[in-house]
Amino acid sequence: MAASRYCLDTGVLIDFLKGREPGASVVEKIVKESACFVASVTVYELLFGVARAQREIGESALLGVMTILPLDGRTAARAASLHVELIRRNQDIGVKDVFIAASCLEHDLPLVTKNIKHFRRIPRLKALTPEMALSS
């Protein structure tokens, strides 16, 4: 893995928690070899999903080894600007994903995601599939 820092999207983390590949291997390797980040919105999505399913899974331990990116004023301003741009281009990806992208851009982090086509709509965001992250 060339990059030493990665932000992980919700789908990749869900795959890790469920033991599905390639997400499980990607998260394991990134946690061992790189600095691992998650957007605040990703934490919300994970915890909401767990609560909604009325299950207990190891999300607390997983999140404990990652840096949670704050949702601050700069990130919110960038998200608003991105969202307007996407809507004008008729390429809206939804507010949660806009905040994830803005968090990555604010902290100059590549995003590891299963939804590469979705996030490639964001100018200047480096989006990687789990397979790309494993091979980089």
Residues facing residue 8 across a β-bridge: 112
Contact 101, 73 (CB under 8 A): no
pTM summary value:
0.89
How is residue 34 annotated by DSSP?
A: S
Q: Which pLDDT score, from 0 to 100, does residue 89 have?
A: 97
Domain segments of the chain as ranges: 5-135
Could you tell me the CATH superfamily of domain 5-135?
A: 5'-nuclease (3.40.50.1010)
pLDDT for residue 59? 53
Q: What is the DSSP string of 104-116?
A: HHHTT--EE-S-H
Instruction: Record the tokens describing residue 39, joined without a space.
Output: 């957007």
Quick one: pLDDT at residue 64? 75
Residue 72's pLDDT is 97
Q: Per-residue pLDDT for the chain (136 aa), expressed as one digit of tens each?
A: 455 899 999 999 988 888 888 878 888 888 888 899 999 999 999 888 877 776 665 556 677 789 999 999 999 999 999 999 999 999 999 999 999 999 999 999 999 999 999 999 998 999 999 989 888 7
| Whole-number pLDDT of residue 26 | 83
